[in-house]
Amino acid sequence: MQFIDRTRVIVKAGDGGHGKSAFRREKFIPKGGPSGGDGGRGGDIIFVVDQNMNTLLDFRYHRKFKAENGENGDIKNQYGKNAPACYVKVPAGTIVKDEETGEVLADLTEIGQEAVICKGGRGGRGNAKFANAANRAPTFAEFGEPGEARNLILELKLLADVGLVGYPSVGKSSLVASVSAARPEIAEYHFTTITPVLGVVKTDYEKSFVMADIPGLIEGAADGVGLGHDFLRHVERTKLILHIVDASGIEGRDPVDDYYKINAELKKYSEKIARRTQILVANKIDLPEAQENLPRLKELAEKEGLKFFAISAATREGVKELISYVGEWLDNYVEEPEQEEEVKVYDETAEDPDKITITRNDAGDFIVHGKAIEKLVIMTNFNNDEAVRRFQYIWRIKGIDEKLKERGIKEGQTVHIGEMEFEYRE
């Protein structure tokens, strides 16, 4: 199966239903009055972690998700039906980012975890809601509020207990294949593994852990060279790193130099990854050339304060001892509190809706920004005189005229609010 770990999707929450403008005219009901019902709320876009998914492959063929709109209100104070939420299934380990701002909207790591990414629009109020002592028969109703829309970047970071790092062809795939049922492609050329492979390793009858065979690093990976960030992204969630080096040096590289170069790339990419516990694993000790480098590698482990194992993934020499130690280490693992990347959870009150700011464009027009006033423009029926008068009243009480005068507006100049355009009059 093809492994996809980064993709782009477009999501749009449902619009709210329009409110209804209606009056009761039934026989025997004197002064029936306004009876227009409210529109229903549009459906939210909700991302949910599905245990049956382990890749973002589905999003290669299905990139657009749109929730249903709320139903319109009706006569006799009948409210429109709220639209159901649109659930988007993702694998565990998915990070949802806003493409425009780069902001992390959700970090989904647990099965069944949900995150509201786009809120559906509120339903417009029917004319019955606007009746009061001063105006007992309002003729206007609100349009439904548009649902939120976003362009998103989805990134998948593997949820593995143990991650293998090291140059290509040091034997990472061979190790995973020797201790689990995973069967990654193994060959004598660089980047045989171009997608991460997960293997479940059993330490005894009841215990096991997940090991990730992640594509090999090369110098410059933190800057995107080779498989670059596509590799490094998956190391972030691991609890323990097995740093594999080729003790034989048959590729023409020095294993001690390899260790320092790989760690330099890890540190350059993320200080958090660089601080993660590592075990130095010297592979291919079945080859005669390895005996020359083993003393140097043991000295390196002592100098860096690392646990050291010498193994041969091909003959399984030393592998059992390594896996036993890793299982014991994980059993005693206590996660240290770390400062995680700030994740935004949708908060309807996070931004002050009544805040008004005024800017000017290149043409000299005035642009009014404000969540509440922009929503008011969208939901107002400007073909209804009463609705226009209500809009003008709210405009005045929010002090927008005064703010525009402070910015130097003159008679006849253009004012923009959202997609609407007005000509300013005293």
Query: Tokens representing 68?
Result: 């249903």
Is 367 annotated as belonging to a binding site?
A: no
Is 363 annotated as belonging to a binding site?
A: no
Is 409 annotated as belonging to a binding site?
A: no
Buried b or exposed e, range 353-390, using 16+ CB within 10 angstroms: eeeeebeeeeeeebebebeebbbbbbbbbeebebbeeb
Is 35 annotated as belonging to a binding site?
A: no
Query: Tokens representing 425?
Result: 């009059």
Cβ-proximal residues to 381 (8 Å cutoff; 6+ apart), any chain: 140, 141, 142, 143, 387
Cβ-proximal residues to 29 (8 Å cutoff; 6+ apart), any chain: none
Q: Hey, which residues does 151 pair with through a beta bridge?
A: 10
User: Could you tell me if 39 and 71 are in contact, meaning their C-beta atoms sit under 8 angstroms apart?
Assistant: yes
Is 258 annotated as belonging to a binding site?
A: no
Is 353 annotated as belonging to a binding site?
A: no
Is 168 annotated as belonging to a binding site?
A: yes
User: Could you tell me if 36 and 127 are in contact, meaning their C-beta atoms sit under 8 angstroms apart?
Assistant: yes
Is 169 annotated as belonging to a binding site?
A: yes
Is 244 annotated as belonging to a binding site?
A: no
User: Which residue in the block uniquely carries the two structure tokens 């701002």?
Assistant: 101
Is 312 annotated as belonging to a binding site?
A: yes
Rounded to the nearest 10 degrees, the angle between the axes of helix 371-379 and helix 385-397 is: 170
How many other CB atoms are found less than 10 A from the CB of residue 332? 6
Is 109 annotated as belonging to a binding site?
A: no
Is 314 annotated as belonging to a binding site?
A: yes
The H or E element spanning position 261 is: helix 255-269
Q: For residue 291, with 0-12 CB atoms within 10 Å meaning exposed, 13-18 middle and 19 or more buried, which class applies?
A: exposed
Backbone phi and psi for residue 140, each to the nearest 5 degrees, phi listed first? -110, 155
Query: Tokens representing 12?
Result: 């749009």
Instruction: Give the CA radius of gyration of the chain.
Output: 31
Is 212 annotated as belonging to a binding site?
A: no
Is 284 annotated as belonging to a binding site?
A: yes
193, 326, 311, 306: which is closest to 260 by C-alpha?
A: 306
Is 84 annotated as belonging to a binding site?
A: no
Is 215 annotated as belonging to a binding site?
A: yes
Is 203 annotated as belonging to a binding site?
A: no
Cα separation, 40 vs 124, whole angstroms: 8
Cα separation, 118 vs 100, whole angstroms: 15
Q: What is the DSSP string of 276-328?
A: S-EEEEEE-TTSTTHHHHHHHHHHHHHHHT-EEEE-BTTTTBTHHHHHHHHHH
Is 313 annotated as belonging to a binding site?
A: yes
**Residue ranges at the known binding site for Mg(2+):** 173, 193
Binding site: residue ranges? 166-173, 191-195, 213-216, 283-286, 312-314
Going by the annotation, the residues of the binding site for GTP are 166-173, 191-195, 213-216, 283-286, 312-314
